[in-house]
Structure 1
Amino acid sequence: MNRAARTILAVALLALPLSGCWSKIELNDRSFITSAYLDLGERQGEIMLTVGSPLPNRLGSIGNTESTAQQGKSYTSVTASAHTIPEALDKIQNDLTRKLTWGQTRAVVVSADYATQVGLQDVLEWAARNPSFPFRTFVFVSEGDARDVMELTPVYERAPAEVLRKYGNRKFVGQTTIKDLAVATASGVGTSVPLLRTGKKPLISENNKISPWTGISGAAMIQDLHMKGRLGISEAKVISWAEGNLAGPMYDVLSGQEKFDYKLNRLKASISPVVTSAGDIICRIRLSAEATLESAVSPRDVTDSAELHKLEGQMNAAIVADMQNALENSQKASADILELGRRLEWRYPRFWSRIKNSWANVYTKDVRFKIKADIRVTHLDGENQPLWTIREVKSK
Structure 2
Amino acid sequence: MTRTHRAVVTAMLVFLLFIGVGGCWSAQELNNRAFVNTVLIDMTEDGQTELTVGIPLPNRMIPGEAGGTGQPQGDPFSFVTRRAENLSQALNLIQVDLPRNLTFGQTRIIVIGRRQAEQGLDKVVEFVFRQPSFRLSASLFITPGDVKEITKAPMVFERILSDILRKYVNNHYTLDTTIKDYKLALYQGGDILIPLLNFGELPGVAQEDPKKNRWMGSGGAAIFSGGKMSKIKLNPSEQQTALWISSQLKNTTVTIASPTDDKEMSFFIEGIKTGIEPVVQGGQVSFRIQSNAKAFVETSLSHIDLKDPMVLQQLEEILNKQVEEQFISVLNKTRQARSDAFLMSQYLDWRYPKFWHTMQDQWKNYYAKELPIEVDVDIKLNRTGGVYRSVVHETNR
- TM normalised by structure 2 equals 0.88
Contact kept in structure 2, 1:189 and 1:341, CA below 8 Å: no
Cα pair distance change 1:62/1:314, threshold 3 Å: farther
Contact kept in structure 2, 1:189 and 1:340, CA below 8 Å: no
CA separation in 1, counterparts of 2:245 and 2:8?
64
CA separation in 1, counterparts of 2:64 and 2:335?
49
Instruction: Map 1:1-396 onto structure 2 (within 5 A).
Output: 15=18, 18=21, 20-44=23-47, 46-61=48-63, 71-116=73-118, 118-188=119-189, 190-201=191-202, 210-228=212-230, 229-254=232-257, 258-277=263-282, 279-391=283-395
Cα pair distance change 1:71/1:384, threshold 3 Å: same
Q: Which ranges in structure 1 are unaligned for 5 or more consecutive residues? A: none
CA shift, 1:361, in A, is 1.9
Cα pair distance change 1:12/1:317, threshold 3 Å: closer
CA separation in 1, counterparts of 2:384 and 2:288?
31
1:173-210 Cα shifts (integer Å, max 9, x gaps): 43111121122222336221111111122698999974
CA separation in 2, counterparts of 1:262 and 1:130?
46
CA separation in 2, counterparts of 1:68 and 1:147?
31
Give the AA of the match of 1:40: M
Cα pair distance change 1:245/1:7, threshold 3 Å: closer
Contact kept in structure 1, 2:142 and 2:222, CA below 8 Å: yes
| Partner secondary structure for residue 63 of structure 2 | coil
Give the AA of the match of 2:96: N
CA separation in 1, counterparts of 2:276 and 2:295?
21
CA separation in 2, counterparts of 1:62 and 1:276?
70
CA shift, 1:302, in A, is 3.0
CA separation in 2, counterparts of 1:67 and 1:297?
55
Aligned length: 389
Displaced runs of 4 or more, over 6 A? 2-10, 66-70, 202-209
- Two-structure CA RMSD over aligned residues (Å): 3.2
The percent identity for this pair of structures is: 32
Contact kept in structure 2, 1:217 and 1:233, CA below 8 Å: yes
Contact kept in structure 2, 1:295 and 1:383, CA below 8 Å: no
| Partner secondary structure for residue 71 of structure 1 | coil
CA shift, 1:13, in A, is 8.2
Contact kept in structure 1, 2:223 and 2:234, CA below 8 Å: yes
CA shift, 1:254, in A, is 4.5
Cα pair distance change 1:98/1:369, threshold 3 Å: same
Give the AA of the match of 1:320: E
- TM normalised by structure 1 equals 0.88
| Partner secondary structure for residue 339 of structure 2 | coil
CA separation in 1, counterparts of 2:58 and 2:336?
48
